[in-house]
Amino acid sequence: IVSGSGFFFTNIDIRNAKENAIVIRPGDGDVALYGWFTNVLADTSGSTGIQISPGPSGIVYSMTFVDCWASTNGAHGVVVEPGSGTVDGLEFIGQRCYDNQQNGMVIIGGKNISILGGQFSGNSKAAADTYNGIVVAAGVSEFKIQNTRCGPASGRGSGQAIGIQVVTGASDNYM
């Protein structure tokens, strides 16, 4: 997605993408807003399952992911990386991130990001006890992680280093 609004994606299975399976990347000055992803699977891509990374001054507002899957990817399950763009208002409800080579989800920047329910388990396949279920980096503000399983679950062991890592410098305004 490079620009526009009012996106509805339902019951889609994306497997074996060479790079990232789903990319939301509005370019310089472009806006992508009001997107709903329901039962969307981003599985076994060469890199990241779901990549949200606007270009310089690009904007991503109000995207909701319900019962989505980002698993068995060559890097991370989900990455939110605004760079010099803006990400504000993401919801991940019932997200599943299993068996990724690196982290289940990495939030490098943005604000008003919610992870409600879901499971982040069996990640760090590239190197045991190195990567995590969820990582929230310095500079992320106003986020919440609630009712989420980030450890052994659904037949997966404890190969992740940490279930949830909140890096020093992330906002004090989180739940």
Q: What confidence tens digit (pLDDT) does each residue in 125-144 have?
A: 999 999 999 999 998 999 99
**Confidence at residue 157, expressed as pLDDT on a 0 to 100 scale:** 80
Tell me which residue of 135, 138, 70, 58 sits closest to 100, measured CA to CA: 70
Tell me if 132 sits within 8 A of 166, measured CB to CB: no
pLDDT value at position 169?
84
Which among 58, 65, 83 is positioned nearest to 8, based on CA atoms?
A: 65
Tally the C-alpha atoms within 13 A of residue 116's C-alpha that lie toward its C-beta.
Answer: 10
Cα separation, 80 vs 139, whole angstroms: 12
Q: Which residues of 104-119 are buried (b: 16+ CB within 10 A; e: fewer)?
A: bbbbbbbbebbbebbb
Low-confidence ranges of the chain (pLDDT < 70): 175
Q: What is the pLDDT of residue 47?
A: 98
pLDDT tens digits along 2-33: 999 999 999 999 999 999 999 999 999 999 99
Handedness of CA 107, 124, 40, 67 (dihedral sign): negative
> What is the C-alpha radius of gyration for the chain, rounded to an integer number of angstroms?
15
Q: What distance lies between CA 46 and its chain's CA centroid?
A: 16
Chain centroid to Cα 140, Å, comes to: 13
Write down the pLDDT at residue 173.
Answer: 74
Rounded to whole angstroms, how far apart are CA atoms 160 and 8? 33
List residues bridging with 153 in a β-sheet: 156
Do 146 and 110 form a contact (C-beta atoms < 8 A)?
no
State pTM to two decimals: 0.96
